[in-house]
Amino acid sequence: MLLSIKEMEVRKVAFAETWQPGEIDFDLDDARICQVGPLRAEGEAELLPHTGRGESRKGSHKAGSRKDEPGNEVRVHGKVETTLETDCDRCLGRAKFPIAASFDLFYRPVDVEATAEEVAIDEGEAEMGFYELPGLVLEDILREQLLLQLPMQRVCSESCKGICPVCGVNRNEVPCSCDTVHPLVAGREAGIQAIDERWKALQSLKVQ
């Protein structure tokens, strides 16, 4: 869905849309991320007036223009919910992540920033996005916001036992009796003084 700048010059653009799995591509950079179930989003896009966020502080409105006229900065706000599925970082099985998030985003046209002189920006402006005519694609905005909601470590459950590093089985599905603890570590945990095999030959030496 295109959030048209021309339409925003006349009125606010409201959206309330539903996308089925496969209609938005989440599998970027071979991350094996996919949508499970419907994705619902609702909200509103608008052109902020010249007195809006950032413009009035810099006095960037054109001479002779009214301050309550639409500027070129876009605000898109709303909420989105769906469930994403990806690989578990521990067992490589599939992990599901229900997501319900709100967003409040600001965008400026690319050409304005490209021709402007370097200026200091505050913390809020550092998170500013950019757009090109004819406008913003809502699906791209939603994809970005949903991917940002995924945790850094993606596990199917907190109790996931992961993959056995010895035999390679998924320990959530198959019992595994492999000893995955290094002998030296096991010895220390048992209170036994373990001897490195490389120094074992020195035990037979006698000091005269």
Q: Give 7-18 pLDDT, tens digit per residue.
A: 999 999 999 999
| pLDDT for 201 | 65
Q: Which two tokens stand for residue 82?
A: 């769906």
Question: In the predicted model, is pLDDT for residue 4 greater than 70?
Answer: yes
Condensed to tens digits (0 to 9), the pLDDT of residues 68-117 reads 555 789 999 999 999 999 999 999 999 999 999 999 999 999 875 454 44
Question: In the predicted model, is pLDDT for residue 156 greater than 60?
Answer: yes
d(CA 107, CA 64): 24
d(CA 136, CA 46): 11
Q: What percent of the chain is helix, strand and coil (3-state, nearest 5)?
A: 25, 35, 45
Q: Which two tokens stand for residue 40?
A: 């619902």
Residue with tokens 């402006």: 125
Q: Please state, as a whole number, how many other Cβ atoms lie within 10 Å of the Cβ of residue 39.
A: 24
Question: In the predicted model, is pLDDT for residue 59 greater than 60?
Answer: no
How far does Cα 175 stand from its chain's mean position? 34
d(CA 75, CA 88): 35
Q: What are phi and psi of 57, to 5 degrees?
A: -65, -30
- Percent of the chain residues past pLDDT 70, beyond the cut: 65
Question: In the predicted model, is pLDDT for residue 66 greater than 70?
Answer: no
More confident residue, 122 or 136: 136
d(CA 98, CA 187): 43
Its pTM stands at 0.70
d(CA 104, CA 146): 13
d(CA 177, CA 164): 10
76 bridge partner residues = 45, 105
Q: Please state, as a whole number, how many other Cβ atoms lie within 10 Å of the Cβ of residue 107.
A: 20
